[in-house]
């Protein structure tokens, strides 16, 4: 066809707007920045980074197709490609699926051209074609042409002769003849039929790759020698042989891949449970999730654990949290991260940073249970933070801490979405094995090495986390979990989906109760969740012994005291217990409350700064009644004792001014006698005088000083011989700013300068130069000393001086 | 599918009464059973095989699911599906999936290792799961107990280490299924002589439960006739029997009871105690004589080997002393029956009892037996005594280790005790205490005889007989009478002091008055406690076991008591 596109750009030009839009949707990186024209788009689509990214997004069969194209001639007719993927016999599934795969490759601009001339983008070809260093997923080796490159014509003729082909003097046609032989199934089979015993074993080792084999130094075995003689094996470096691609394809029956995978593996349903069971279990767990997060943050009401300097929570704090929540550390980390993702907890940003619940937490608390759950799940689904990593180490060996940095994995949300979508595709009530899900995800998007290992972990974590959050129950997606599957990935859609899920969950959650069962063994059992105010009061009055569907509380003297400390009276507690108990309050409990209340507050503790005591209580009454004592903060503790809020000296002073004669008392109760000289320091030496200025010098020092001054003076005033020119004996020194200014001035004036210069070896010299140009820290100048134009680094010029005499008479440096 | 549709398929009207099982499964693996629920009994029967009854107060009973309980259920032929089914069927709320998975996984661990008799190698440990055997073989605890490896899946076990290896494997979490069987022992004809009486239904169930399981512990309340369970077991085994009891008085009671209730004659039953060393087809030995140590060895432990015993009965197995533990481990090929009312040990070695004697084969809550009329209903009263000011001061200044002794033995307490005795004049009353001085003083004031450690056995028997006959109406006893003393006539017990916070002592002391009374009236148990002292804290701890069995203590102020009325109204 004459109008067949010659480049990708032309191909794109021939496509509709929709196709280009699809391309940009599939490869959003091409859009940033928006390309000017299709040529630029095509160029960008061919860059290595972009192609790598596009290849990573292919499903397994599309990738296999691209790999097959990479080992096929370029351009490659559709039939050839089909033969590579379906083999000589053809596989019906491949025939059926291949057009789709080719279209997918075209859509993402990895393949262009019509079906008669399919081109794989050059970069993709380079990435996928086999080379000795990066073997192809096909396990195929180089072509005969590639493998025989550099082989002597004589050797080629020998190969032809051994393979029974007519001799030719042209190496190119010799290679072509050999290639044609290998491609011809009939002739090739005939040739191999003559091979000595053991050849098939040798070939079967190399047939599916890797195609390289080692040959023992002391001499190859008969089959290898036979194969090498006929070019079925070709030398590939010392001691190595390679099976050329055409020969391998012959042995494989034309298949580029051992197992073409045209269809995704179906996810087989695992254990199946009644839908009601699944929903109820998930709802129970959803309820637990909400309560757990609430418990977690409630325990941080008075400030949470400190933030590590590197960010995150310390291992010890995580352990403590895990113990408090009665779960394992990984699960505790999950709850922390979920609350964090939902914006319920954050660092407080103070100088000594701590974690604390956010104001959003208070709002969250006011929501009904199902909406609280929806908030958690809506935060979990798109989160890139991966709690499962907590406790592990990053690539540099640093521990990964909960709420800390380095926990983001961009793969996580995609895996979560896909896992839930796959679960949703199963019949209702069916769970799936993680292996089956993983196999499916691996087909949908083959990943390599670390990314694949991470995904395997993510699948496990997703299933565990979904169960913990009550999105699934017994491994199967619940009705409310199903509703979470938004139609699209848009944020608004996710919100409606979450609201819908909450609506489905609501009727399944247990109704909060307003009563407990009190028992004579001093326990109370709440046979279900309690109304918030009841739970709060009971939580103060009793210790929680076991949690779950019900809550078991135990009353102890300590817990009752706690309630009394919180301002409750014994009567209030009795009334509270009677009001919320369905059965009569057991007598031991009544006694416990009374006993603790009787002793509670019998000892009183307060703070006072001073006291006044006097055996005459009427005198104390007089002081209390006196108006002048008003500011002292006096309070009568007992008939003979007043407590005061002012310090003892103020109190003494004031009482004296009021006309009393108080005496101070020591801590032991003795009267303190105050005398002016009563207080002494420990033994001290007297202080030395510190006169202004230096001390007066003695005679010896003075004499020596005078002598020295005289000597100096004589030296300075002596008549010296004039210093001979040239001044070149020393390097001139100027500041760098002066240097630059002088050089620039010299350029303008066309004058010569005398400079001092230190070369790269550190050797100093002086030169007379005529600067021509100053640029980028360099001076280009005619060097009179060397009689040529040179460049001098500005920073190496020690200094400049103007020449008094005309240049040219510069002396050699000393 | 085993999950029944208790839960509605589609949510009905918002938040109504949807599910109403009697059971609540907690995340810490406790099960709360609502007793008044119509399905409660059904549920109790369903969960009893695998869950331990932990507490049985009036409204909600607490059961606990432990690995040991699950393995015992496996041993008794229940599988994980039944356990899960029971939980899911009766649960009010959805059962956490993790818990169900854990149950299944725990139960799957049982039976991977088996102790069997090999035709040529004797006792061997074999596995159906090779890595498990590898894992346990690497343990330092297991290594010395096993011999040569026969093949990949089998290893020889020294027959004497059968108990040790079972215990060690249990600790490693891979319990071995013991299929090696029991030796029959020397046969000896024993029949129950049911003339005018017969085994009560629960006693029969206990005997059957024990025999079916091979070895194990039967837990029955005090006064519920544990001796007859022993006799029943002997009559089933029909072989020579060694019975271990706590003291000589108890030994005599056992002998008396056996001669009366079975075909055994006086001559067939021997007593092996400090005073007599008889070895007969049925021998009753005391723990004390077995654990007497001379020159660093236990000379009397040979008793275990002196005959080819077919059955060993441990009375009051919760008191099993440590040396007997060790020796019992070597007796795994003989049938063992443990009897107790209170398998709580303050040293927490309950699990050792289970692993050495065997799992719990029968357990009846006290209140259930009471409801059937086999033990007397009891009214437990805690009498709170206000100390006088001088006593409080003395208490406050007492040394820490003297505090309990001081507050437990104050004069005020004595006066209150006297008042209580006076109030119950005409009833057979026991005054029980810990401190001999206090008891002597009480005995003097009450004009009642005192039985304590130094009282000779003859004197004890004489006094007990007089008490039973009604010649003496008040008896002051020390802790020697805590156990196994059969005083059917006692109706009032007054506890003045105890072994600190011992729960089982409290239960045993209550047990002294639980024999059903001829006229069916209830027993009275007083615990006299000094208010606001450590005595009160210990008392609270002591009462826990009984409170958890459903005995609700009433609290009475001693002042009200001394001034008169108010006591008898409930």
β partners of residue A345: A357
A382 lies in the same domain as A304: yes
A467 lies in the same domain as A374: yes
A653 lies in the same domain as A568: no
Predicted local confidence at residue A339, as pLDDT: 92
Q: Residue B356 and residue B167: Cα distance in Å, rounded?
A: 7
H/E run at residue B463: helix B457-469
Residue A814 has pLDDT above 50, yes or no: no
Q: Are A554 and A522 in contact (CB under 8 A)?
A: yes
A556 lies in the same domain as A413: no
Q: Are B210 and B235 in contact (CB under 8 A)?
A: no
Q: Mark residue A312 as left, alpha or beta (left: phi above 0; alpha: psi -120 to 50; beta: remaining).
A: left
Q: Are B290 and B274 in contact (CB under 8 A)?
A: no
Total number of domains constituting chain A: 6
Question: What angle in degrees, to the nearest 10, is found between the helix axes of A185-193 and A171-183?
Answer: 90
Q: Are A114 and A1 in contact (CB under 8 A)?
A: yes
Predicted local confidence at residue B13, as pLDDT: 34
Q: Residue A484 and residue A471: Cα distance in Å, rounded?
A: 9
Predicted local confidence at residue A713, as pLDDT: 62
Q: Where in chain B is the domain with CATH 3.40.50.300?
A: 201-370, 376-563
* Domain stops at, among A599, A623, A638: A599
Q: Residue A507 and residue A520: Cα distance in Å, rounded?
A: 35
B11/A508 touch (CB, cutoff 8 Å), yes or no? yes
Considering only CA atoms, which of B286, B281, B285, B287 is closest in space to residue B262? B281
Residue B148 CB-density burial (10 A; 0-12 exposed, 13-18 middle, 19+ buried): exposed
Q: Residue B109 and residue A655: Cα distance in Å, rounded?
A: 84
- Range of the structural domain that residue A644 is part of: 610-657
Chain A residues with CB-CB distance to B55 below 8 A:
521, 523
Please provide residue A609's backbone torsions phi and psi, each rounded to the nearest 5 degrees.
Answer: -95, -30
Closest partner residue to A521 among B34, B94, B547, by Cβ?
B547
- B94 close to A (CB below 8 A): yes
A149 lies in the same domain as A169: yes
Residue A462 has pLDDT above 90, yes or no: yes
B201-370: CATH class: alpha beta
A517/B60 touch (CB, cutoff 8 Å), yes or no? yes
- B95 close to A (CB below 8 A): yes
pLDDT digits (tens, 9 = 90+) for A343-378: 998 888 888 888 989 999 988 988 888 899 999 998
pTM attached to this predicted model: 0.66
H/E run at residue A386: none
Helices (H), B48-96: 67-75, 80-90
A286 lies in the same domain as A394: yes
Predicted local confidence at residue A723, as pLDDT: 44
Q: Are A400 and A392 in contact (CB under 8 A)?
A: yes
Residue A39 has pLDDT above 60, yes or no: yes
Q: Residue B248 and residue A427: Cα distance in Å, rounded?
A: 71
Any idea what the Cα angle at residue B337 is, between residues B332 and B338, rounded to 5°? 110
* Domain stops at, among A66, A96, A128: A128
Between B20 and A337, the higher pLDDT residue: A337
Q: How many CB atoms lie within 10 A of CB B119?
A: 5
Predicted local confidence at residue B324, as pLDDT: 77
A400 lies in the same domain as A366: yes
Q: Are A557 and A595 in contact (CB under 8 A)?
A: yes
- Which residue from B minimizes the CA distance to A479? B10
Any idea what the Cα angle at residue B191 is, between residues B229 and B183, rounded to 5°? 75
B552/A587 touch (CB, cutoff 8 Å), yes or no? yes
Query: What residues have CB less than 8 Å from A378, skipping those under 6 apart?
Result: A342, A494, A495, A498
Q: Which CATH number goes with the domain that contains A746?
A: 2.30.30
pLDDT digits (tens, 9 = 90+) for A628-677: 888 888 888 888 899 998 888 888 888 888 888 888 888 887 887 766 55
For the ranges A218-232, A257-271, A570-584, A655-669, the lowest mean pLDDT is seen at A218-232
E strand intervals along B197-291? 216-219, 241-245, 269-272, 282-286
Tokens of A110: 């990895």
B-interface mutation test, from A271, A276, A469, A477, most B Cβ less than 10 A away: A276
- Per-residue confidence at A527, pLDDT binned at 50, 70, 90? confident
A293 lies in the same domain as A381: yes
pLDDT digits (tens, 9 = 90+) for A590-626: 988 998 998 888 888 888 888 898 888 888 888 888 8
Chain A residues with CB-CB distance to B547 below 8 A:
520-522, 588
Say if A713 falls within a structural domain. no
CATH number of B376-563: 3.40.50.300
Mean pLDDT score, A774-791: 83
pLDDT digits (tens, 9 = 90+) for A243-280: 888 888 888 888 888 888 888 888 888 888 888 888 88
In total, chain B counts a number of residues equal to: 570
Q: Residue B556 and residue B564: Cα distance in Å, rounded?
A: 12
Predicted local confidence at residue B444, as pLDDT: 92
Q: How far is CA B455 from each of CA A647, A657, B398, B445, B468, rounded to the nearest angstrom?
A: 69, 80, 31, 19, 18
End-to-end CA distance of chain B: 51
A280/B94 touch (CB, cutoff 8 Å), yes or no? yes
At A111 the three-state DSSP class reads strand
Say if A813 falls within a structural domain. no
Chain B residues with CB-CB distance to A272 below 8 A:
1
Q: Residue B173 and residue B441: Cα distance in Å, rounded?
A: 53
A398 lies in the same domain as A476: yes
Predicted local confidence at residue A162, as pLDDT: 85
Question: Can you tell me which residue has the tokens 């039953």?
Answer: B269
Say if A216 falls within a structural domain. yes
Give the range with max mean pLDDT: A177-181, A716-720, B158-162. A177-181
pLDDT, chain A, mean: 83
Residue A694 has pLDDT above 70, yes or no: no
Considering only CA atoms, which of B181, B224, B180 is closest in space to residue B200? B224
- Which residue from B minimizes the CA distance to A326? B28
Q: Are A168 and A179 in contact (CB under 8 A)?
A: no
Predicted local confidence at residue A458, as pLDDT: 92
Say if A137 falls within a structural domain. no
- Which residue from A minimizes the CA distance to B556? A591
Question: Can you tell me which residue has the tokens 């169960």?
Answer: A467
Chain B residues with CB-CB distance to A284 below 8 A:
93-96
Q: Residue B152 and residue A226: Cα distance in Å, rounded?
A: 48
Averaged over successive runs of 10 residues, the pLDDT of chain B (570 residues) comes to 37 41 88 90 88 84 88 84 89 82 90 88 88 87 85 85 82 85 86 88 90 85 87 92 89 90 91 87 89 82 82 88 74 86 74 77 83 87 90 88 87 90 89 91 91 86 88 88 74 89 85 81 90 88 84 85 56
A498 lies in the same domain as A524: no
- B570 close to A (CB below 8 A): no
A242 lies in the same domain as A322: no
Mean pLDDT score, A295-309: 86
Q: Residue A642 and residue B464: Cα distance in Å, rounded?
A: 66
Query: What residues have CB less than 8 Å from A741, skipping those under 6 apart?
Result: none
H/E run at residue A620: helix A617-625
Q: How far is CA A277 from each of CA A272, B89, B164, rounded to the nearest angstrom?
A: 10, 11, 44
Q: Are B146 and B138 in contact (CB under 8 A)?
A: no
Say if A671 falls within a structural domain. no
Closest partner residue to B24 among A326, A550, A583, by Cβ?
A550
- Which residue from A minimizes the CA distance to B30? A546
Q: What is the sign, positive or negative, of the torsion defined by CA atoms of A518, A523, A528, A534?
A: positive
Q: How many CB atoms lie within 10 A of CB B62?
A: 24
The b-or-e profile of B168-203 (16+ CB within 10 A means b, else e) is bbbebebbbbbebebeebeebebebeeeeeebbebb
- B449 close to A (CB below 8 A): no
B94/A528 touch (CB, cutoff 8 Å), yes or no? no
């Amino acid at each position: 066809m004459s109008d067949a596109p010659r480049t990708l750009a032309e191909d794109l030009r021939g496509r509709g707007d929709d196709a280009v839009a699809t391309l940009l949707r599939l490869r959003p990186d091409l859009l940033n920045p928006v390309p000017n024209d299709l040529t630029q788009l095509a160029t960008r689509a061919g860059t290595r980074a972009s192609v790598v990214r596009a290849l990573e997004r292919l499903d397994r069969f599309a990738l296999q197709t691209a790999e097959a194209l990479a080992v096929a001639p370029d351009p490659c007719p559709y039939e050839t490609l089909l033969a590579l993927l379906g083999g000589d016999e053809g596989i019906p599934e491949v025939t059926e699926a291949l057009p789709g795969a080719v279209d997918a490759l075209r859509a993402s601009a990895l393949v262009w051209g019509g079906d008669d001339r399919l081109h794989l983008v050059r970069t993709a070809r380079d990435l996928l074609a086999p080379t000795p260093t990066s073997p192809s997923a096909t396990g195929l080796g180089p072509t005969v042409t590639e493998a025989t490159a550099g082989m002597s014509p004589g050797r080629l003729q020998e190969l032809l002769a051994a393979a029974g082909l007519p001799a030719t003097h042209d190496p190119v046609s010799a290679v072509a003849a050999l290639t044609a032989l290998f491609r011809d199934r009939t002739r090739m089979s005939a040739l191999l039929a003559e091979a000595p015993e053991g050849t098939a074993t040798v070939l079967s080792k190399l047939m599916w790759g890797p195609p390289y084999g080692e040959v023992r130094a002391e001499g190859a075995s008969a089959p290898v020698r036979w194969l090498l003689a006929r070019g079925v094996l070709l030398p590939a470096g010392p001691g190595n042989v390679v099976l050329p691609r055409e020969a391998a394809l012959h042995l494989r029956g034309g298949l580029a891949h051992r197992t073409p995978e045209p269809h995704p593996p179906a996810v087989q349903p695992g254990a199946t449970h009644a839908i009601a069971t699944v929903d109820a279990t998930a709802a129970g767990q959803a309820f637990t999730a909400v309560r757990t997060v609430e418990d977690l943050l409630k325990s941080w009401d008075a400030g949470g654990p400190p933030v590590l300097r590197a960010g995150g929570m310390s291992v010890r704090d995580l352990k403590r949290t895990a113990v408090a929540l009665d779960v394992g550390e990984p699960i505790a980390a999950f709850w922390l991260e979920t609350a964090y993702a939902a914006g319920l907890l954050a660092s407080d940003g103070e100088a000594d940073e701590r974690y604390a619940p956010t104001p959003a937490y208070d709002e969250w608390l006011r929501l009904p249970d199902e909406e609280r759950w929806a908030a958690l799940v809506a935060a979990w689904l798109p989160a890139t933070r991966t709690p499962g990593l907590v406790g592990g180490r990053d690539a540099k060996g640093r521990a990964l801490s909960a709420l800390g940095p380095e926990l983001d994995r961009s793969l996580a949300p995609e895996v979560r979405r896909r896992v839930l979508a796959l679960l949703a595709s199963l019949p209702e009530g069916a769970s799936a094995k993680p292996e089956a899900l993983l196999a499916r995800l691996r087909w949908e998007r083959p990943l390599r090495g670390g990314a694949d290992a991470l995904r395997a972990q993510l699948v496990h974590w997703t299933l565990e986390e979904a169960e913990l959050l009550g999105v699934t129950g017994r491994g199967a997606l619940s009705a409310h979990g199903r509703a979470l599957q938004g139609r699209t990935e848009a944020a608004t859609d996710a919100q409606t989906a979450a609201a819908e899920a909450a609506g489905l969950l609501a009727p399944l959650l247990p109704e909060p109760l307003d009563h407990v069962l009190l028992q004579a063994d001093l326990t109370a059992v709440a046979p279900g969740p309690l109304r918030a105010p009841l739970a709060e009061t009971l939580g103060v009055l009793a210790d929680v012994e076991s949690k779950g569907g019900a809550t078991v509380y135990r009353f102890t003297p300590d817990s009752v005291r706690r309630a009394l400390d919180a301002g409750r009276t014994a009567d209030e507690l009795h009334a509270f217990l009677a009001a919320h108990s369905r059965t009569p309050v057991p007598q031991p409990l009544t006694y416990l409350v009374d006993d603790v209340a009787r002793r509670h507050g019998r000892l009183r503790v307060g703070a006072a700064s001073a006291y006044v005591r006097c055996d005459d209580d009427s005198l104390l009454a007089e002081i209390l009644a006196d108006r002048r004592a008003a500011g002292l903060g006096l309070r009568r503790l007992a008939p003979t004792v007043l407590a005061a809020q002012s310090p003892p000296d103020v109190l003494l002073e004031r009482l004296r001014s009021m006309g009393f004669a108080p005496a101070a008392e020591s801590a032991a109760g003795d009267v303190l006698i105050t005398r002016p000289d009563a207080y002494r320091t420990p033994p001290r030496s007297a202080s030395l005088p510190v006169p202004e200025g230096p001390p007066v010098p003695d005679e010896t020092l003075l004499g020596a000083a005078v002598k020295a001054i005289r000597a100096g003076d004589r030296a300075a005033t002596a008549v010296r011989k004039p210093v001979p020119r040239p001044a070149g004996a020393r390097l001139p020194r100027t500041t760098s700013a002066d240097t630059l200014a002088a050089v620039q001035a010299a350029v303008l004036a066309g004058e010569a300068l005398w400079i001092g210069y230190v070369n790269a070896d550190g050797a100093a010299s002086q030169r007379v130069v005529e600067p021509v140009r100053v640029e980028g820290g360099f001076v280009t100048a005619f060097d009179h000393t060397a009689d040529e134009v040179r460049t001098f680094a500005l920073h190496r010029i020690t200094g400049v001086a103007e020449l008094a005499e005309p240049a040219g008479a510069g002396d050699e440096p000393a | 599918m085993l999950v029944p549709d208790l839960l509605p398929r589609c949510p009905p009207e918002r938040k109504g009464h949807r599910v109403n099982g009697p059971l609540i499964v907690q995340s810490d693996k406790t099960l709360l059973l609502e007793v008044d629920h119509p399905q409660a009994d059904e549920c109790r029967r369903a969960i009893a095989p695998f869950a331990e009854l932990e507490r049985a107060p009036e409204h909600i009973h607490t059961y606990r699911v432990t690995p040991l309980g699950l393995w015992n259920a496996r041993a008794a032929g229940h599988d994980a599906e039944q356990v899960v089914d029971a939980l899911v069927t009766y649960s009010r709320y959805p059962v956490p999936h993790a818990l169900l998975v854990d149950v299944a996984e725990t139960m799957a661990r049982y039976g991977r290792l088996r102790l069997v008799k090999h035709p040529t190698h004797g006792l061997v440990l074999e596995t159906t799961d090779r890595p498990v055997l590898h894992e346990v073989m690497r343990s330092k605890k297991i290594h010395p107990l096993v011999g040569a490896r026969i093949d990949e899946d089998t290893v020889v076990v020294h027959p004497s280490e059968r108990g040790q290896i079972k215990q060690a494997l249990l600790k490693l979490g891979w319990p071995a299924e013991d299929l090696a069987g029991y030796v029959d022992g020397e046969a000896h004809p024993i029949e129950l002589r049911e003339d005018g009486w017969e085994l009560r239904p629960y006693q029969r169930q206990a005997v059957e439960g024990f025999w079916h399981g091979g070895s194990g512990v039967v837990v029955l309340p005090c006064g519920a006739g544990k001796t007859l369970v022993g006799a029943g077991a002997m009559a089933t085994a029909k072989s020579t029997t060694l019975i271990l009891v706590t003291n000589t008085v108890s030994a005599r009671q056992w002998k008396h009871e056996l001669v009366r209730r079975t075909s055994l004659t006086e001559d067939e039953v021997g007593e092996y105690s400090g005073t007599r060393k008889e070895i007969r087809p049925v021998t009753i030995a005391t723990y004390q004589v077995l654990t007497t140590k001379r020159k660093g060895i236990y000379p009397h432990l040979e008793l275990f080997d002196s005959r080819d015993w077919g059955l060993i009965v441990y009375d009051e197995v919760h008191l099993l002393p440590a040396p007997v533990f060790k020796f019992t481990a070597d007796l795994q090929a003989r049938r063992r029956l443990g009897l107790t009312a209170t398998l709580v040990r303050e040293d927490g070695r309950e699990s050792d009892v289970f692993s050495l004697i065997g799992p719990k084969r029968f357990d009846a809550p006290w209140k259930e037996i009471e409801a059937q009329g086999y033990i007397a209903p009891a009214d437990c009263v805690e009498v709170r005594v206000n100390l006088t000011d001088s006593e409080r001061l003395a208490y406050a200044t007492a040394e820490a280790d003297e505090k309990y002794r001081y507050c437990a033995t104050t004069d005020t307490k004595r006066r209150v005790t006297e008042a209580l005795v006076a109030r119950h004049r005409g009833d057979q009353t026991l005054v029980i205490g810990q401190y001999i001085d206090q008891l002597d003083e009480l005995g003097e004031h009450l004009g009642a005889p005192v039985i304590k450690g130094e009282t000779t056995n003859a004197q004890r028997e004489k006094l007990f007989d007089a008490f039973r006959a009604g010649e003496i109406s008040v008896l002051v006893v020390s802790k020697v009478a805590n156990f196994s003393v059969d005083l059917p006539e006692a109706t009032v017990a007054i506890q003045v002091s105890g072994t600190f916070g011992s729960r089982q002592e409290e239960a045993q002391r209550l047990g002294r008055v639980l024999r059903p009374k001829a006229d069916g009236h209830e027993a009275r148990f007083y615990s006299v406690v000094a208010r606001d002292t450590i005595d009160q804290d210990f008392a609270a701890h002591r009462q826990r076991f009984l409170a958890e069995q459903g005995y609700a203590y009433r609290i009475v102020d001693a002042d009200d008591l001394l001034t008169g009325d108010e006591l008898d109204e409930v």
